[in-house]
């Protein structure tokens, strides 16, 4: 009997150690800048970007011919933040753009730059913390990033004047960031928020990925990752939830999502939409995978932008 008890205790101990190791590995692989890889994200998202290669190449070439420059600001916790600024026609319309996980400002808005620059918008393409040229060791998934968004709003108002009219447009993690920012006290110059395939919270999207892609139970990996996140990076995985933050929103919100998104499931869009307290619109693009909506149906996407923006910016 003693041997059985001893073996049981040893086995239980080994399982605890293994689970702790797995949880630590998950945290490091997902939330540490040096371990999170763009190639892995693209593979997990499952979108076939090769089919849009020529379009993106042409639009990037056209985009880079426009005047642009690097902008640097300090975050509230002392990080050096980077963005790329396109002054456009130097009018009063400006869009601040927030990219997806493991990407950077100058990548995710290559296609949409054509839409905005042709319509006279200034563009500010942000590198979110721990991405691109911005500092940061830990990826925030909207936590921390939404505070950084306020820094960029302040810069835009100082740069362009008090009469500037600003849109916030985010894709994937950037979409979650702008929705999480909707619950903050925003300056009156913020006229609308556009979120493309944004998620509710890091906890929700991590749980979905563990279940659907790795066929693993969320417990105890999520709990271990949450403990490490709070201890090391200072935020919980559900501390800031877009579906909760939009209940405090005062500016109009447009939600866009791909019907076939397997990385950030479309159900999150519906959940967020139901909770939006302000004026709201929704566009679901049939057959579109993660972050593919604009390219899958450009006409529908641009029409949705026209209808949304036309009601808030003249």
161 pLDDT above the threshold of 90: yes
19-57 pLDDT, tens digit each: 446 657 778 888 899 999 999 999 999 999 999 999 999
Query: How far apart, in whole angstroms, are the C-alpha atoms of residue 60 and residue 158?
Result: 28
- Over residues 277-305, mean pLDDT: 98
If pLDDT is split at 50, 70 and 90, which confidence band does 10 have?
A: very low
187 pLDDT above the threshold of 80: yes
Query: How far apart, in whole angstroms, are the C-alpha atoms of residue 170 and residue 97?
Result: 6
Output the pLDDT for position 124: 98
- The fold of the 32-201+240-310 domain, in CATH, is Rossmann fold (3.40.50)
Mean pLDDT of the chain: 91
DSSP secondary structure letters along 53-90? HHHHHHHHHHHHTS--EEEEEE-TTS-EEEEEEE-TT-
| Residue 16 burial (10 A CB sphere; 0-12, 13-18, 19+) | exposed
Closest to 200 measured CA to CA, from 268, 145, 136: 268
If pLDDT is split at 50, 70 and 90, which confidence band does 8 have?
A: very low
4 pLDDT above the threshold of 60: no
% the chain with pLDDT above 90: 79
99-149 pLDDT, tens digit each: 999 999 999 999 999 999 999 999 999 999 999 999 999 999 999 999 999
If pLDDT is split at 50, 70 and 90, which confidence band does 83 have?
A: very high
Output the pLDDT for position 23: 59
- Over residues 267-281, mean pLDDT: 98
pTM above 0.85, yes or no: yes
Query: How far apart, in whole angstroms, are the C-alpha atoms of residue 212 and residue 215?
Result: 6
Q: Are strands 80-86 and 122-127 parallel, antiparallel or unpaired?
A: antiparallel
Q: Helix or strand or coil: residue 150? A: helix
| Sequence ranges of the domains in the chain | 32-201+240-310
Q: Which residues contact 62 (CB under 8 A, 6 or more apart)?
A: 114
Handedness of CA 125, 296, 179, 143 (dihedral sign): negative
Based on its alpha-carbon atoms, the radius of gyration of the chain, rounded to whole angstroms, reads 20
């Amino acid at each position: 009997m003693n041997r059985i008890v001893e073996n049981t205790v040893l086995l239980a101990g080994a399982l605890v150690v293994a689970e702790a190791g797995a949880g630590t590995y998950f945290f490091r692989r997902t939330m540490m800048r040096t371990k999170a890889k763009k190639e892995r994200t693209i593979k997990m998202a499952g979108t076939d970007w090769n089919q849009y290669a020529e379009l993106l190449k042409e639009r990037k070439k056209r985009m880079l011919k426009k005047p642009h420059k690097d902008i640097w600001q300090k975050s509230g916790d002392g990080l050096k933040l980077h963005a790329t600024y396109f002054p456009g026609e130097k009018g009063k319309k400006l869009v601040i753009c927030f990219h997806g996980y493991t990407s950077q400002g100058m990548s995710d808005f290559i296609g949409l730059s054509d839409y905005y620059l042709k319509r006279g918008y200034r563009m500010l393409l942000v590198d979110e913390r721990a991405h691109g040229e911005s500092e940061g060791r830990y990826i925030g998934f909207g936590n921390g990033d939404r505070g950084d968004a306020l820094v960029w709003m302040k810069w835009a108002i100082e740069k362009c004047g008090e009469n500037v009219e600003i849109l916030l447009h985010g894709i994937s993690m950037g979409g979650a960031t702008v929705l999480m920012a909707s619950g903050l006290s925003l300056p009156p110059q913020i006229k609308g928020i556009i979120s493309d395939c944004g998620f509710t919270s890091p906890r929700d999207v991590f749980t979905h990925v563990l279940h659907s892609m790795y066929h693993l139970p969320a417990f105890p990996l999520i709990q271990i990752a949450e403990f490490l996140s709070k201890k090391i990076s200072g935020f919980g995985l559900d501390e800031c939830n877009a579906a909760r933050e939009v209940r405090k929103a005062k500016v109009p919100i447009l939600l866009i999502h791909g019907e076939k998104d397997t990385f950030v499931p479309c159900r999150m869009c519906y959940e967020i939409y139901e909770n939006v307290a302000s004026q709201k619109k929704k566009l679901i693009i049939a057959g579109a995978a993660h972050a593919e909506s604009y390219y899958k149906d450009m006409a529908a996407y641009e029409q949705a932008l026209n209808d949304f923006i036309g009601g808030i910016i003249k």
